[in-house]
Amino acid sequence: MTVARFIADQRTRYRVPHAACCRLLGVSESWFYKWAGRVADGTLTPSEQHRGALDEAVAVAFTAAGGKHGSPRLVADLRDLGWTVSEKTVASSMRRQGLIARRIRRRRNTTRPDKTRKPFPDLLRRDFTARGPNLRWVGDMTEIPVDGHGKFYLATVIDLYSRRCLAACTSMSANATLARAAIQTAVTARGGPDAVRNVIFHTDRGATHGRPVHQPVPAA
């Protein structure tokens, strides 16, 4: 079944308007009505019928991939299904149907190793457990995109004993000030510097925008 035939069947079987199906599938109404007229006249050529079948296969594969595959990856998907197609043919089909692959934005690390500084020793040695509260904390900084408003940054501190989040501070800049604010908030939440004097604070060995984010605990 071609895409156009599918649209026609939705109207016949389920009373779905042609215009709604065309918008949903990303094809123009004029293209559909032109196809319908040629079907009525019996003037569709074998090549046009093949193109219709290919368009449907491309649309189905595109949907199955969650709209993330462009023509190079769709070619591989279609060949796995038995189609003999080229990337150019698939790209043309995608243009006809208005199919545009969604770009996956890779997350950019907010911290990078600072090679100019001596690294702090890893006191946890990958053992992320604790025998009691205020013995081992971990922290991290995360970039959070905000639609239409750029992005902001979140710095957190978690106690490994209870897994409780002791601090969650935000800022429009990822810098040492934000990291320090999160640590100071956690220290305050647990009763001040004297109450957490022996805590180990573990984070990644990185610097944000070239500035170190590691701070000693307790914070003054």
Handedness of CA 71, 77, 81, 82 (dihedral sign): positive
Residue 210: predicted pLDDT: 37
pLDDT at residue 51 is higher than 60: yes
CA separation for the pair 135, 50 (Å, rounded): 69
pLDDT at residue 218 is higher than 60: no
Distance set, CA 87 to CA 58, 63, 69, 128 (Å): 11, 18, 12, 48
Residue 40: predicted pLDDT: 60
Residue 176's closest CA among 212, 149, 139? 212
pLDDT at residue 147 is higher than 70: no
Residue 179 · residue 141 · CB < 8 Å: yes
* Residues 91, 96, 97, 98, Cα dihedral to 10°: 80
CA separation for the pair 113, 9 (Å, rounded): 59
Tokens of 193: 């510097």
pLDDT band at 188 (very low <50, low <70, confident <90, very high): very high
Average of per-residue pLDDT across 130-152: 83
Residue 215: predicted pLDDT: 41
Residue 17: predicted pLDDT: 79
pLDDT at residue 140 is higher than 60: yes
Residue 1: predicted pLDDT: 46
Residue 220: predicted pLDDT: 37
Residue 173 DSSP one-character state: S
Tokens 């243009």 correspond to: 95
Residue 134: predicted pLDDT: 93
* Region for 192 from its dihedrals, namely left if φ exceeds 0, alpha if ψ lies in -120 to 50, beta otherwise: left
23-41: pLDDT as tens digits? 777 778 887 777 777 666 6
82-139: pLDDT as tens digits? 888 899 999 988 887 778 887 766 655 555 555 666 667 788 888 888 899 999 999 9
Beta pairing, strands 136-145 & 200-202: parallel
Tokens of 139: 């922290």
Residue 106 · residue 200 · CB < 8 Å: no
pLDDT band at 158 (very low <50, low <70, confident <90, very high): very high
Q: Which residue has the higher pLDDT, 37 or 145?
A: 145
Q: Which residue has the higher pLDDT, 50 or 215?
A: 50
CA separation for the pair 61, 99 (Å, rounded): 11
Q: Which residue has the higher pLDDT, 12 or 198?
A: 198
**Please, is 102 exposed, middle or buried when counting C-beta atoms within 10 Å of its C-beta (0-12, 13-18, 19+)?**
exposed
